[in-house]
Amino acid sequence: MEHKAIERLMFDYSYHLDMNHPDELAALFVEDCEVSYAPNFGATGMEAYKKTLEGIGTFFSGTSHHNSNISIDFISPAEAEVRSIVLAVHRYVKERPDGILYGQYFDRVVKIDGQWKFKRRELRTTMTTDYHVRASNPIGRAA
Amino acid sequence: MEHKAIERLMFDYSYHLDMNHPDELAALFVEDCEVSYAPNFGATGMEAYKKTLEGIGTFFSGTSHHNSNISIDFISPAEAEVRSIVLAVHRYVKERPDGILYGQYFDRVVKIDGQWKFKRRELRTTMTTDYHVRASNPIGRAA
Amino acid sequence: MEHKAIERLMFDYSYHLDMNHPDELAALFVEDCEVSYAPNFGATGMEAYKKTLEGIGTFFSGTSHHNSNISIDFISPAEAEVRSIVLAVHRYVKERPDGILYGQYFDRVVKIDGQWKFKRRELRTTMTTDYHVRASNPIGRAA
Per-residue pLDDT tens over the stretch A61-85: 999 999 999 999 999 999 999 999 9
Burial (Cβ within 10 Å: 0-12, 13-18, ≥19) of residue A71: middle
Q: C-chain residues within 8 Å CB-CB of A14?
A: 69, 85
Quote the mean pLDDT of chain A.
97
pLDDT at B55 over 90: no
Say if the Cβ atoms of A12 and C142 lie within 8 Å. Answer: no
Q: Among A104, A64, A81, which residue's Cα sits nearest to residue A6?
A: A81
Closest Cβ opposite residue A20 in set C66, C71, C142: C142
What is the mean pLDDT of the segment spanning A39-47? 95
Say if the Cβ atoms of B66 and A87 lie within 8 Å. Answer: yes
- How many other C-beta atoms can be found within 10 angstroms of the C-beta atom of residue C25? 22
Give one word for C80, left, alpha or beta, with left for phi > 0 and alpha for psi -120 to 50: beta
User: When comparing pLDDT for C55 and C78, which is higher?
Assistant: C78
How does residue B56 score in pLDDT terms, banded at 50, 70 and 90? confident
Closest Cβ opposite residue A142 in set B15, B57, B61: B57
Say if the Cβ atoms of B141 and C20 lie within 8 Å. Answer: yes
Helix (H) or strand (E) holding A87: strand A79-92
Closest Cβ opposite residue B143 in set C11, C57, C91: C57
Task: Note the pLDDT tens digit of each residue in C57-104.
Answer: 899 999 999 999 999 999 999 999 999 999 999 999 999 999 999 999
Say if the Cβ atoms of C61 and B127 lie within 8 Å. Answer: yes
Nearest CA in chain A to B68: A68
Say if the Cβ atoms of A20 and C126 lie within 8 Å. Answer: no
pLDDT at A128 over 90: yes
Query: Residue B57: its pLDDT value, please?
Result: 85
> ipTM of this model?
0.96
Number of CB pairs, chain A paired with chain B, less than 8 A apart: 58
pTM, two decimals, is 0.97
Measured CA to CA, the distance from residue B55 to residue A95 in angstroms comes to 39
Closest Cβ opposite residue C142 in set A19, A87, A98: A19
Beta bridge partners of residue A104, listed in sequence order: A85, A124
Which residues of B have a CB under 8 Å from any CB of A? 1, 4, 8, 10-12, 14-15, 18-21, 57, 61-68, 87, 89, 91, 98
How does residue A15 score in pLDDT terms, banded at 50, 70 and 90? very high
Measured CA to CA, the distance from residue A2 to residue A5 in angstroms comes to 5
- How many other C-beta atoms can be found within 10 angstroms of the C-beta atom of residue B40? 7
The percentage of chain C sitting over the pLDDT mark of 90, rounded to a whole number, equals: 94
- How many other C-beta atoms can be found within 10 angstroms of the C-beta atom of residue C2? 14
Query: Residue C57: its pLDDT value, please?
Result: 85
Query: Residue A34: its pLDDT value, please?
Result: 98
Task: Average the pLDDT over each of A74-83, A126-135, C4-13, C52-61 and give the range with the smallest value.
Answer: C52-61
Contact A102, A69 (CB under 8 A): no
Quote the mean pLDDT of chain C.
97
Say if the Cβ atoms of C127 and A18 lie within 8 Å. Answer: no
What is the mean pLDDT of the segment spanning C36-44? 95
DSSP A67: E
Strands B115-129 and B29-38, by their bridges, are: parallel
Query: Distance of CA B102 to CAs B126, B128, C58, C87, C88, Å?
Result: 5, 6, 20, 11, 11
- Which residues lie below 8 Å from residue B55, measured CB to CB, with a gap of 6+? none
Say if the Cβ atoms of B127 and C8 lie within 8 Å. Answer: no
How far away is chain B from the Cα of C61, in angstroms, using its nearest Cα?
9
pLDDT at B85 over 90: yes
Contact C78, C110 (CB under 8 A): yes
Strands A99-112 and A115-129, by their bridges, are: antiparallel
Task: Note the pLDDT tens digit of each residue in B19-54.
Answer: 999 999 999 999 999 999 999 899 999 999 999 999
Closest Cβ opposite residue B139 in set C10, C19, C65: C19
Measured CA to CA, the distance from residue C105 to residue A19 in angstroms comes to 14
How far away is chain B from the Cα of A143, in angstroms, using its nearest Cα?
6
Q: Give the count of alpha carbons within 13 A of A16, CB side only.
A: 15
How does residue A1 score in pLDDT terms, banded at 50, 70 and 90? confident
Say if the Cβ atoms of A64 and C71 lie within 8 Å. Answer: no
